[in-house]
Structure 1
């Protein structure tokens, strides 16, 4: 086409139009980029602030519980009193410490220090102050005589020689009697536990939360990583979130920094090119103007032009990145909603939050969840043999299987027209709450029926088993925490009922309450039989396990039993040879501690427990056979067992029978059996006396003569000294029982 001067004049303005439009696009690009960067920072900062707030709330809850226990719990106050303590007191207090530790939000360990006794008691046992691994920290804070806030992370272990120390944060509270400090109460929360909790709330692959001063935090600072820092108002700790932006956003930000120079160069080049081309040919200019017109008229989500690699294509690519970032912000909003939803459900079930039904339904409506229900069914699902589960599967596979468990039960509820919400209360336990609607006949399935159908599905489709505890249904959200505790207590009874079972209130109602004092006495008797080389120790332990199957025996009860038995065995082994003491400490003591990690049911626990005892018995028998005096001591013991009713039974008489000096026999008896000759004679006679007092109507005089006492007053004094009550009163007590 032939060009005239009129068209030449019009086309001469094309470079100016291009410059104006390019500049406007560039300005819009910079404004959008700066606004998105600011919004991204604000969002990440708000999320980290909320995470730190949740952590502070849990730490405050721990502090309030500890202070409440110190002020209100009689057993703990008794520990700091001047009253003499017995083994039962230590056992009950240790159990209370374990219960308190399990009730706190994070993994922790607790110990109490009594200044008068210079002794520490913890959830793992009792320690003398001089041998306590945390003595330096305890004494440093105790000398201040002032309760402190949470301490910065430090290394902690119960034993000074333990090389496997873990980082903890500690809270020290003092016990007072009037104005006098009597001891201290120390809670150590594992840093790994609450940091895992923070990062579980984060749920981001690119950002991780670190505690300033941690080993990983300096590395992040040295690498020059972008980060957000938030300081806790409660503890004063500062938390750092690595990676403020992900890789795609960083590239986009880099482009925004160098784009100005690139764009200026392109504009100048375009001005020269358009000026030349305008005077040569108008079609290329016309084509460019059409593209610019199309670009300016398109909607924001349709911006960009396919074509040659030029400045317009680059702008299109940049704007596409901005649109991608806006989608990321929307995903962040969804993640925040999910976080608030999980926190709401966890607080309701744990009893940390109280809502009326109207308030709860409003919360569900705010989260766009169904809010119709007449009653709430609660079940707690526990993955069996969780340690094996974590060993078998990688972390990603573990999360995938847990997601399948969640989704399967929600789908089950949907199939029966009931809404189900869930929350992982512990790594191996998830709670499901079913919203039953009485008016809908399709939602009439019972909670136990849900549990049976769900367990059947798991057994068919997954290579794992689950144990389910079913709680009583709640008519209101106000009592759902009670239903959860009921379901939690039922699933704890898997120790008795076994794995891959469903335990509801009908099934658990047949179990009796655990009598700690009775099985504590039975343990003492079994340990003493083992120490005295009596063959019935195995039957006594078997009887204990038989009786425990009738009781409400849970995981924490197994922990207490192991700790008490290990403590009794420590005392009993001290009466044996130095070689046996060394074997016990090096090869067997730690095996009992690991039973809590490997045994999930009472049958598994008994099998492993009896196996360890059988191996230790073989070591003891081998040691005894190697010592030539052991057989003489056992013969002397047998003679006492057969002739304890003889009034003339004495050390001198038995020494004559075995042709030994009395002092030699006394020393041999003490070394081999761990008891003095006279103490053993007294123990055998008193055991027989107690049996006769309970099982017969014989007079006190007659019983005294039957066990070798010619003077009833001597028998009376010996019995009262050993049992703390006279024979007659002892008979009345047990006849009443």
Structure 2
């Protein structure tokens, strides 16, 4: 036998291993590259921000120093007032101070003051007039725009006609400060000193800085300042604009400098990656040899078995192991499946035989052989329960057949476990697509009578119902058959039939979705002639807008409940009532017709069929008829405002528990304005809507306070108040005492109103 699998196991790891190592090295390089770029960009932004801030501070310092001296020295005010003339001592002092200012600040190229009264200009060189002044073009621009703030673009400037032009940036201020009308101060900063200042802060063999003016003209590098232009030195990483000068500063790294040191780190990563790769290869060889040892042990055991065909023995190790295990598993699975299927079929067939009363021989002995009801050998009582699920296909119809079968089997086992928790023995089988039959037997205690066993059944079925609703969201109803005395034949036919009959009376008898077969009438028969007069009366009152039709509906349901009619008979009566009402109303409008033959009619019929108890069905029917009644009244051309106000009153009495109930809701419901609805209330009841609603809520609250022990907060919510504070304030205003005192003194509604 060759060790093919050892080599396969060894080399199967290598492709993904090498790919993983390569990706790790590549990602490491990318991460280092990105970190380097981010840090470089961050450093460049800090450096460029420093240059911009330094330049702005220097320019601002020059401006502040000049303005401070202008404000503090009276000689400048004397000049503007015309008290300084050429040749006077004051003139010499003024010229000397201008000269000192320019000499003490290397950024300051020159400055001069223009006197508006006689259009004369003073500078460090003395007096001159506007007509012959060398910088008269800028001066005229300053006179045209005296309120302009900020520095000008770089311009050519000379103070005297004989001077060599220099590039400066200029700003002007009205004198006296801050907004005088006597003259103008012009400050000129040299472009070259500013560029030299930038150059002193940016000399580097790695980075570059390019400065452009407001209109894109190059300011730096220029001439012998700077080390090249942006196009020759690399990519821009940072761009900032000076708020003081309006210049744009663009910085970055020179080409070839960004990844120089990154390459060194990359080589280190490659060396580390290769070393890791070598160590991993050695580890793979070691772990593969270690993991192969159990395979060797298994092969030695398989080879010790009787010899098999040469085709099998020539395979590699795992193929031989797989073949041996596959044969063993297949044989075991076939046997277990066949045994289980036969057992399930035999169980279900025997269960149906018991239900039909056709079981042959000793039933208890057969139960023991089928492993069901094993704890019922000495049981005294037995009963059959049928659990019926609503809309099983709607919830689980999309599941595969195998999943549905697994779910059904789970329910069977869980129901049996819940029975054992109540000290009952149970056996459950599916008798139809949505019905599960369960046989319950009591314990061997002979003192347990039929009534006690019935109570045990009720508690067990209740726990099954609650568990199914909470865990699977299943809606189930249960028919509990009559209790029979247990013998060896397990005669359960009568109990099964009574359980089936009980399921037909859930609406009238169902408590928590369960009905006992002992409560079902022996000879059920609906005498329909009793109900037609009252249904005809309901339709007539409805058509004549007589509000007592609701009471008649309630009377109809009381009769149905007292007669103990079957579910299908009750639904048939309700269907007849809807048909009778439809014949009277459906031709009045298309909207009314939809309630009886349209989509709305179909939805309501589905909801009525889903009703679990008579009160629920009555509430659904009243809700439907109330909506139809509102539409009918609104479409009736001969209706009066009294009919409308009666409907409003009925609507309020029905929905007073809604905290949001207001005139707006009434106006939307009855298609009238809120103002008109308020007017109808005032005319009909001589009270406002809010007072009527508050009085109605407080009357109900008084009844709850005197008849129940519920807390005041809960009562407030039940009568339509969102919080107990508002409820207490309204209660005291109407009744005269607080809710707590009302309950404390055991007052009655009529006494409190007095």
- TM-score, structure 2 as length reference: 0.37
Answer with 1 or 2: which has the greater Rg. 2
